[in-house]
Amino acid sequence: MRTDTLAASETTGTRTPAVLLRGLTKKFGAVTAVNQLDLRIEPGEVVAFLGPNGAGKTTTIDMMLGLARPTQGSVEVYGLAPTEAINQGRIAAVMQTGGLLKDVSVAEIVRMTASFFANTRPVDEVLERAGIADIADRRVAKCSGGQQQRLRFALALLPDPDLMVLDEPTTGMDVEGRRDFWNAIRTDAQAGRTVLFATHYLEEADAYADRIVLIRKGQVVADGTASEVKALAAGRQVRATLPGADEVRLAALPGVDRAEVRGETVLLHTNDSDGVARYLLTQTTARDLEITSRNLEDAFLALTSGEDTDLEGVSR
Amino acid sequence: MTAAALPRTTVDRRPPLGGFSLTYLALEIRRVLRNRRSLFFILIMPAVFFLLFGLPQKGQNIDQANSAAAIAYIMISLAVYGAMTASTATGGAVAVERAQGWSRQLRLTPLRPPAYVATKVLSALSLSLLSVLVEFVVGSIGGVRMPAHVWLLAGLGAWLGSLVFAALGLFVGYLAPAENVMQFMGPILALLALFGGLFVPLEVLPHVMRTIAKFTPVYGVGSIARSPLTHDFSWVAVLNVVGWTAFFGLGAALLFRRDTARV
């Protein structure tokens, strides 16, 4: 795993991490859902857990919450075992689906859940913060998908957790519902709460996370800011006009993994576009220089659908 | 990146009694009472049965051997029926809550599983008590006259005997993952009630069925609840009820452990 992209690791030495996963492995029979996964999340980070279906996101989250037992490895949440972290109200979660009684009102299920804790934030407050105070008397069964998700968020706010985990929280919501939901989360995170959310919506990860952890086949394949992840996966393409270019020489430049010469045009694929540009502009007669970045979607596809051998270069 | 986490010292949010609270119990009872279908089966149907099948027997004795009033016998039987329906439905609701993912959600709180089960059992007992009281009030208005101690003992028998059905409900609730568990429990309960002699005296049933009937849990609870009236208390019936309660209770406990085990 790359550690040089973790902004936090440079500034924090001994602070207890919000999440510390070490060699986390989960096997279901012959299937390995999570494979030797290491991850450290510092307090205050907003982290997206990005990956395709079946990548092991939910299984990893289940182990963080104590819902599943690791086959190997360890989970610590603020230095505590997951069940203890739940008992102390330090971790709370918004699950993808289910988990709500249908025949009670919004306010009732919040009051009920509050009764399971020794002390909580006031019911009215969490309803307000989740943006559902106006539907407190509505029956859960009559709430829309987005409203039910905000209700799950309200329930998770009750113990005032230090770490909020959201497992694909906006699945099935319309665009407006998603925006409202993320605004509520974002506002909440500004107070310093650590947030970890799993998603397969790339734009969500790009827009709302400080840091993206890309996982595939139960392993972290990329970790960094959105632009770092993009650069890792797709790199950038440098295009210039350079008559008489030496393709072999260009391909051997540091950071260039593919060079192509089409007539007077050269196309260089690189994860060090600055270095390549500097070289082209200072050491050659190149002109019309153009640097383009692939979007996150391309990065995601490149990282999550590639063969294992392709990933060696980017994950280390 | 945002700054440090919320400043806080360690707070234990574990509630006393594993999370058992009157707030939760009261909400649980209210949920059942708000459901028209369960209200119908728990409170209305037994009362209507009394009006339909009990009232016409007014003034008659159970049979030549027993001079107790038939109408009182029917009322107690139907009180047992109401209590068993209430208890089974409340216990069986666990299946619905498991299917809806509520049990999983509860594991994200400090609520201890035994406190959850205790709430279900107490909620079942509260509703079966209500069912017995309603049936007795209807019976008393309809003309049932019994000595005070018979009212009390018969009522206690019907009420506390419903514990076996709370255990049955939990057993089925942890066995079936379905939301519609009561759909198939309904007919089973009616059949059990028939075997238990709650709808018609066992004497009218064929001999084979009568023999089988004596081993069913409803027969045990029914005969204990009626014994203050009929004066034929039997330890065999007590053994029957204790045995079935233990069987369903242990079965529910085993399934419960499987359900709450971390995989």
Nearest Cα residue in chain B from A65: B108
% of chain B exceeding 90 in pLDDT: 51
- The predicted structure's pLDDT at residue A294: 64
Contacts of A85 in chain B (CB under 8 A): none
Selected residues 23-52 of chain A with any CB under 8 Å from a CB in chain B? 42-46
Residues A161 and A260 in one domain: no
Q: Are A275 and A135 in the same domain?
A: no
Cβ-nearest to A191 among B6, B102, B107: B6
Cβ–Cβ pairs < 8 A, chains A and B: 126
Same domain, A182 and A243: no
pLDDT digits (tens, 9 = 90+) for B230-253: 888 889 999 999 999 999 999 998
* Residue A316 pLDDT grade (very low, low, confident, very high; cuts 50, 70, 90): very low
What is the percent of chain A where pLDDT is above 70?
86
Residue A109 lies in a domain: yes
**pLDDT computed for residue A296 by the predictor:** 63
Q: Output the pLDDT for position B261.
A: 73
- Residue A3 is predicted with a pLDDT of 41
Distances (CA, A) of A151 to A156, A198, B27, B49, B106: 9, 18, 18, 42, 15
What mean pLDDT do residues A128-148 have?
A: 93
Which chain A residues are Cβ-neighbours of B15 within 8 angstroms?
A: 115-118
DSSP strand pairing (A163-167 vs A91-94): parallel
- Cβ contact (<8 Å) for A45 and B262? no
Contact at CB, B262 and A68, closer than 8 angstroms: yes
Q: Does A65 touch chain B (CB under 8 A)?
A: yes
More confident residue, B162 or A248: B162
Same domain, A162 and A243: no
Tell me the pLDDT band of B186, cut-offs 50, 70 and 90: confident
Per-residue pLDDT at A73 exceeds 70: yes
- Interface residue B145 vs chain A (CB under 8 A): no
Same-domain check for residues A45 and A71: yes
- Is A301 among the domain residues? no
| Inter-chain CB proximity B19 and A92 less than 8 Å | no
**Quick check: B180 contacting A, CB < 8 Å?**
no
A86, A116: one domain: yes
- B81 in Cβ contact with B198 (< 8 Å): yes
| Residues A43 and A184 occupy one common structural domain | yes
Phi, psi of A57 (to 5 degrees): -65, -55
Query: What CATH number is attached to the domain comprising A158?
Result: 3.40.50.300
Asked if residue A303 lies in contact with residue A219, where contact means CB atoms within 8 angstroms, the answer is: no
Helices in B176-234 by DSSP H: which ranges?
Answer: 181-195, 207-213, 217-230
Instruction: Extract the tokens encoding A189.
Output: 């995170």
Rounded-to-integer distance, Cα A234 and Cα A304, Å? 12
- Extract the tokens encoding A305: 């659908």
For the cut 60, the answer to whether the pLDDT of residue B1 exceeds it is no
Residues in chain B closer than 8 A to A69 (CB atoms): 262-263
Q: Which of B13, B14, B101 sits opposite A99 (nearest CB)?
A: B101
Residue A2 lies inside a defined structural domain of this protein: no
Number of domains observed in the structure of chain A: 2
- Residue A300 in any domain: the answer is no
Q: Tell whether A98 and A156 lie within a shared domain.
A: yes
A192:B23 CB<8 A? no
Is A95 within 8 Å of B34 when comparing Cβ atoms?
Answer: no
Same domain, A206 and A285: no
pLDDT of residue A232: 66
Distance of residue A119 Cα from the nearest chain B Cα, in angstroms: 6
Kindly report the average pLDDT of chain B as a whole number. 87
Is this complex scored with an ipTM above 0.90? no
- Sign for the CA dihedral angle at B143, B149, B150, B152 comes to positive
In this model, does residue A312 exceed pLDDT 60?
no
Residue B176, pLDDT above cutoff 90: no
A11-25, A63-77, B68-82, B118-132, range with the lowest pLDDT: A11-25
Residue in chain B nearest A186 by alpha carbon: B2
The full DSSP string for A65-95 is: TTSS--SEEEEEETTB-HHHHHHTT-EEEE-
Q: Does B102 touch chain A (CB under 8 A)?
A: yes
CATH code of residue A279: 3.30.70
pLDDT for the residue numbered A57: 93
What is the H or E stretch that residue A212 is in?
strand A211-216
Pairing of strands A19-28, A72-77: antiparallel
Q: Which domain holds residue A107?
A: 7-230
Q: Average pLDDT for residues A3-18, to the nearest whole number?
A: 57
Q: Do B5 and A112 touch (CB under 8 A)?
A: no
One domain, residues A224 and A255: no
Instruction: Give residue B183's pLDDT.
Output: 77
What pLDDT shows up at residue B3?
42
- What is the average per-residue pLDDT within B90-103? 89
State the pLDDT at residue A307: 44
Measured distance CA(A257)–CA(A241) in Å, rounded: 19
